[in-house]
Structure 1
């Protein structure tokens, strides 16, 4: 078991840099850092204090005696970042810690993704993270934390650009460690009360994260994760990489179709291999609850006595699939309503299309799912 965390302590005579730190997660982290001793904060933000939440944060921190500098700067612009940091560090203490939380989300199916959309998500995390690395090489850093995403190792439909950017951050952390420099890339799951998902009111973004198997991370848990990432040689951190926020596929009673898509990836096969054993243990040694004993949709269709029975079987399975994906009771899904009425977007349509192909062997186009006049056909 890892030793208990002792509580983060930040130096009052040091500066701490937060990139993208005026967003929801950054506001939470900066408040937490100040509560634990930080007195000099440097925020790097493309938009600066352009909204009420950012202005309120800066005002609140300054009222607590914290020196706050906001550099309105694109961290991917290495020259501009160097110049801005050099100017502010003439009057501020050296930087002892960096938290890189800058991000851009431009989700789109990869086959249809323009080059500009792809690179827009890469820029803050690839060029931006490298610029921060270069700009702080002469600073006495205790930690260099890169906020990545659990999607970097799980994958996520429509986020090839963002996944690539997050994966780069994991490699950059390993590169820094190889140079003898502190670094941890944290693959964060779905933060419950702050950040992009919370600020956008959940909706399709949250439903998608739930669908791929991400668990909620509470704000206090986020602080503890950051604290762990700040420690040298922390337990659970491998080669500068800390994975959090993903459910395992170990639920012994779950249907295979209920499991997140990544549970079928051979990389995670060691988790899935445990499920039958856990099922037998949970059932007192009986294998009756094993998912291996459940009939597949394809086999049910093969044994259907009539076309009408086969249609009913497919509809029941489809309604159950939609209920899981939309996190709503099956009884609330009306087969007569269109897929659009339930907010099914291109990402969910791809998931449904893949499920139909996997379960029934039928090749359905994504646009057929999106343009279906009714769920029940």
Structure 2
């Protein structure tokens, strides 16, 4: 809708708005009326753009005096979850909406003299994000399609968006809030849409459009993203805050200084402190040692965030599922003690992280 408004305001004579539900989509009639008031002729069509036959029929039905001259693919599907929870079906959903659809549009319009072929991707396909492996991969594949088109002399522009404001974009308030805490606040869509014109005017292949505190984001996104963003943030690898704040040996030395009888409480309090920070609680007392993480509101994304925090604090590498395998702060603390080989801790063991 925002792209259509922008195109109408810039004098587009005919807008073909395509979706699976066509005119039955919520708000379609109101949007068409608004665009027509701007002077544009508007056609709203129902079509599954992952079906080559349907798309070919749609293009063939266009009047000769209204040929297709530019294309914007703005569809997307989210099915977030940590890597261990992904299945072929969960991978297929985002790929169908992103890659399959764009591939069909590429093939069915390759013979046309398009002035623009614009695809909406995501900043998550550029830098990655916990819990979005399928969505990130689909968007990266879309950017590869654009690169292939340009290599063949065809127009192509990929816009890797940051989060759009809740209610206008694909994120709910909870996910939008977590991204904001990590340095990626939501953008106002009307302002973001101006980036399309600039990218086309400068003939860019890939443009990241995001309201971002890259230094803050790099500090929470893991070493790969931090390395990628080092030129933007001015952070070199030795100063990368996404790496463990202490080595495993250093934390082990710290723990060894704590009386043996106090070590479990010490590590439990560490877990509770970081869990409270992830849940945006002001004090760790709100996180009870024997209460399950799932009962506190942890999901797959916040579980990864806590895992990353604890790994940075202790130097111990932990799997993404550790909060579900060790379901309470007290149980997780015992597991950390065992992994650290804490002196005097029954059942402790040394070994690779």
When the two structures are superposed, what TM-score results if normalisation uses the length of structure 1?
0.73
* CA displacement, residues 70-108 of structure 1 (integer Å, 9 cap, x when unaligned): 221111111110111211x12551222211111122223
* CA displacement, residues 236-274 of structure 1 (integer Å, 9 cap, x when unaligned): x3xx111232745536xx9x9x53325665333445663
Does the CA contact (< 8 Å) of 2:125 and 2:139 recur in 1?
yes
* CA displacement, residues 29-86 of structure 1 (integer Å, 9 cap, x when unaligned): 2122222222311112112233432332223334544322222111111111011121
Tell me the equivalent position of 2:300: 346
The verdict on how the C-alpha distance between 1:218 and 1:63 changes in structure 2, with shifts beyond 3 A counting, is: closer
The verdict on how the C-alpha distance between 1:246 and 1:372 changes in structure 2, with shifts beyond 3 A counting, is: farther
Tell me the equivalent position of 1:84: 58
Q: Work out whether 1:219 is the aligned partner of 2:189.
A: yes
Does the CA contact (< 8 Å) of 2:14 and 2:40 recur in 1?
yes
When the two structures are superposed, what TM-score results if normalisation uses the length of structure 2?
0.77
Alpha-carbon distance in 2 for matches of 1:325, 1:138: 51
The verdict on how the C-alpha distance between 1:276 and 1:149 changes in structure 2, with shifts beyond 3 A counting, is: closer
Q: Work out whether 1:250 is the aligned partner of 2:218.
A: no
The verdict on how the C-alpha distance between 1:362 and 1:57 changes in structure 2, with shifts beyond 3 A counting, is: same
Tell me the equivalent position of 1:267: 228
Does the CA contact (< 8 Å) of 1:48 and 1:72 recur in 2?
yes
Does the CA contact (< 8 Å) of 2:129 and 2:136 recur in 1?
yes
* CA displacement, residues 315-341 of structure 1 (integer Å, 9 cap, x when unaligned): 554455345544x24338711254234
Alpha-carbon distance in 1 for matches of 2:234, 2:66: 53
Does the CA contact (< 8 Å) of 1:147 and 1:186 recur in 2?
yes
Q: Work out whether 1:139 is the aligned partner of 2:93.
A: no
Partner of 2:140, secondary structure, is helix
Tell me the equivalent position of 1:359: 313
How much does 1:301 deviate? 5.5
Does the CA contact (< 8 Å) of 2:123 and 2:210 recur in 1?
yes
Tell me the equivalent position of 1:14: none
Tell me the equivalent position of 1:30: 4
Tell me the equivalent position of 2:342: none
5+ long unaligned stretches in structure 2: 332-353
Does the CA contact (< 8 Å) of 2:176 and 2:186 recur in 1?
no
Alpha-carbon distance in 2 for matches of 1:215, 1:30: 24
How much does 1:357 deviate? 3.5
Alpha-carbon distance in 2 for matches of 1:227, 1:308: 65
5+ long unaligned stretches in structure 1: 1-26, 280-289
The verdict on how the C-alpha distance between 1:306 and 1:323 changes in structure 2, with shifts beyond 3 A counting, is: same
Partner of 2:22, secondary structure, is coil
Matched residue count? 324
Q: Work out whether 1:96 is the aligned partner of 2:108.
A: no
Does the CA contact (< 8 Å) of 1:211 and 1:260 recur in 2?
no
Aligned pairs for 1:128-207 (under 5 A) are 128-193=101-166, 194-197=168-171, 200=172, 202-203=173-174, 205-207=175-177
Partner of 1:145, secondary structure, is strand
Tell me the equivalent position of 2:40: 66
Q: Work out whether 1:305 is the aligned partner of 2:258.
A: yes
How much does 1:310 deviate? 4.5
How much does 1:187 deviate? 0.9
Q: Work out whether 1:109 is the aligned partner of 2:82.
A: yes
Partner of 2:283, secondary structure, is helix
The verdict on how the C-alpha distance between 1:220 and 1:319 changes in structure 2, with shifts beyond 3 A counting, is: farther
The verdict on how the C-alpha distance between 1:181 and 1:340 changes in structure 2, with shifts beyond 3 A counting, is: same
The verdict on how the C-alpha distance between 1:268 and 1:232 changes in structure 2, with shifts beyond 3 A counting, is: closer
RMSD: 3.5
Alpha-carbon distance in 2 for matches of 1:295, 1:175: 41
